[in-house]
Structure 1
């Protein structure tokens, strides 16, 4: 029981939630505002996504004894911020439910599991490395912005990596917070810590909104979130079946959509923070980090806007540095796995390059196209080689 309170678990869970809220929390605000939500409804959205992520992550992690982290769909929120203006709130809620039903069906039918079983490990690793690359680079962009704080964090990170590997992330986080506090960089939080009251909105199912909002929300959530999410699990050696995870995250969305839970999916970036070797050398003993993340997510949901304001009070350079440094090991391991098999190397590097480019085509993000182009190259070489042999 005492091991559960290890600083490496607590800090990994905290950093995962911190990165999630500071990196994409503002987008959820924008999406809610685009839907014409009142302040009470915006708080309800935060309540729904916080509790939805926390409870589903906790349940799945305890059941499988593997680090399964559920997150909101960041590209989905960005899509909603541009597509919801002028759409009645009831119609928007109906689109959320419709998208979640499609996600649930994808899980229940086993379709997603079949797709991911078909994808080679090298391509999944290349996809994950590319998704995480921006965060690794941003750590050193942050160094340019704040040499003292981020420089000290890098030094502590490198020293702890050699002498105290179990406490790399806690010591790095603590260093950044202490220097930020000393420099007055953490702004005062003026918010009341009162429990958020959920607001129910009766859904309406308007066919044009279901097609124009619900289907694109489903596609971007599957392609840009769930594919990298399962790739993160596989790249770290976890064999939890994909379909139940997709099914349960979709079901969570169905239940919480009337309160603003617009889309739930597998986490990739924040999940990788809870799966790194710095959490625990043994992959089988890293899942308590997700349990702590679940606790922090539930607190963020229960106290809604107040907790979000607390997270946003951290300086951007601090958050960028923490995320980037914490993900360096995962990026390195993923690149190693991606390029290890010579016959799959060209397909893997294509997957990596397209995904890292950040391109968007037909309103679908780079992870999907990276996988499509990489798989095309992989299958072409495989069948071409087989044809020559015959």
Structure 2
């Protein structure tokens, strides 16, 4: 293994971890607080996810000698932000996290469940994801309306740097957020004192509560979004770069690490999609057999970032919430564009996708169950009715 190590893989691994963490940790924090987590619980969840996905990447990359990049479920965190607090509060959300993790393990080990997930119409899954994301994507505009002197620098940094290199657009927005917070926001002295006392990580064990609301509003949509938007594309990225992974065992292991992080507030870890291309591509090393080191380095770096989660969360909490929501919204624009295009691409499924999108985006919950579930159900009924009608006419 040591002979396979290279400076090129070291650099790409560090870059992958930085981009992966900096571009989406704001989404994770917003998602966890959106389902009722306190600041301490959100910091614990961020720490648990970072450490879990780091160790998972190390274990899988060493075991398979493949550049297996692991990430937290960013679309899943966006789903949490749109779901709101369910009956039972954050404890019920953690119960949903655990059920989702069990489903991911089952999807990896039990082929019929994996085939059921793959059978969900891609148009409806993408429409649900787009409906979940659109609310967060409004945040940058709302931040400018809240205070142009705070919101504009964040948005402009994203636009200017993104026009040069899309990879660094969100980290640039995050850097602008830090500058706005340091030089623009009046931070009370007691808040600074609190920040200085949060350098060490604090794990918060959350007792899970299992109920229908947590199952239907959290577990099932989180499972579908994580599998459809992260795990399955993650396998595709590895295959495009010439690797032949066995999907089932990889899914199952990410589910196990999701189980380990859930009691501490982590929602889900999964195969990476975007950052996977960085570790699996030729930039990590010309020799494909040596690229796995980039994923190992990224995993080690994620663990280090996880140990700093309490400090990151405390620092972010000093700013008006709309500002970090703006960073999260900017991070999700590309995902929203991609899911929207995929949802409305085919004429035969366009109306059903529109129903799914609109019901999900409405944010309305019925019987304590979030709009994401009802959107997928309504779109599925619409699609089934349309197919039945065509069959009868034919």
Is TM-score (shorter-chain normalized) higher than 0.5? yes
Change (3 A) 1:355 1:256: closer
How far has the Cα of 1:318 moved from its partner? Answer: 2.9
| Counterparts of 1:140 and 1:228, CA distance in 2 | 26
Deviates more, 1:126-135 or 1:97-106: 97-106
For 1:206, the equivalent position in structure 2 comes to none
Give the conservation status (yes or no) of the 8 Å contact 1:127–1:367: yes
Give the conservation status (yes or no) of the 8 Å contact 2:137–2:329: yes
For 1:55, the equivalent position in structure 2 comes to 55
How far has the Cα of 1:381 moved from its partner? Answer: 1.6
For 1:126, the equivalent position in structure 2 comes to 127
How far has the Cα of 1:355 moved from its partner? Answer: 1.3
For 2:197, the equivalent position in structure 1 comes to 191
For 2:144, the equivalent position in structure 1 comes to 143
For 1:69, the equivalent position in structure 2 comes to 71
Give the conservation status (yes or no) of the 8 Å contact 2:140–2:155: no
| Counterparts of 1:94 and 1:144, CA distance in 2 | 37
Matched, 1:320 2:325: yes
For 1:20, the equivalent position in structure 2 comes to 28
Report SS of the residue matched to 1:69: strand
For 1:265, which of 254, 265, 268 is the aligned residue? Answer: 268
Over the aligned positions, Cα root-mean-square deviation in angstroms equals 4.7
Matched, 1:227 2:235: no
How far has the Cα of 1:298 moved from its partner? Answer: 3.1
Count residues with an aligned counterpart.
358
For 1:37, the equivalent position in structure 2 comes to none
Change (3 A) 1:138 1:57: farther
Give the conservation status (yes or no) of the 8 Å contact 2:349–2:383: yes
Give the conservation status (yes or no) of the 8 Å contact 1:106–1:247: yes
| Counterparts of 1:149 and 1:290, CA distance in 2 | 36
How far has the Cα of 1:133 moved from its partner? Answer: 0.8
Q: For residues 165-219 of structure 1, what are the alpha-carbon distances to aligned partners after superposition, in whole Å with 9 as ceiling and x for unaligned?
A: 34322333223322332214566313242355798x9x9xxxxx9xx72665444
Q: For residues 24-55 of structure 1, what are the alpha-carbon distances to aligned partners after superposition, in whole Å with 9 as ceiling and x for unaligned?
A: 2585644999xxxxxxxx99777645533443
Q: Unaligned 5+ residue runs, structure 2?
A: 1-7, 238-245, 285-291
Q: Unaligned 5+ residue runs, structure 1?
A: 34-41, 86-91, 204-208
TM-score w.r.t. length of structure 1: 0.70
| Counterparts of 1:361 and 1:235, CA distance in 2 | 30
For 1:352, the equivalent position in structure 2 comes to 357
Give the conservation status (yes or no) of the 8 Å contact 2:19–2:167: no
Q: For residues 106-133 of structure 1, what are the alpha-carbon distances to aligned partners after superposition, in whole Å with 9 as ceiling and x for unaligned?
A: 5422344222221222222212211111
| Counterparts of 1:94 and 1:325, CA distance in 2 | 30
TM-score w.r.t. length of structure 2: 0.70
| Counterparts of 2:218 and 2:332, CA distance in 1 | 22
| Counterparts of 2:71 and 2:38, CA distance in 1 | 24
Instruction: Map 1:75-86; keep pairs closer than 5 Å.
Output: 78-79=85-86, 82=89
Give the conservation status (yes or no) of the 8 Å contact 1:126–1:351: yes
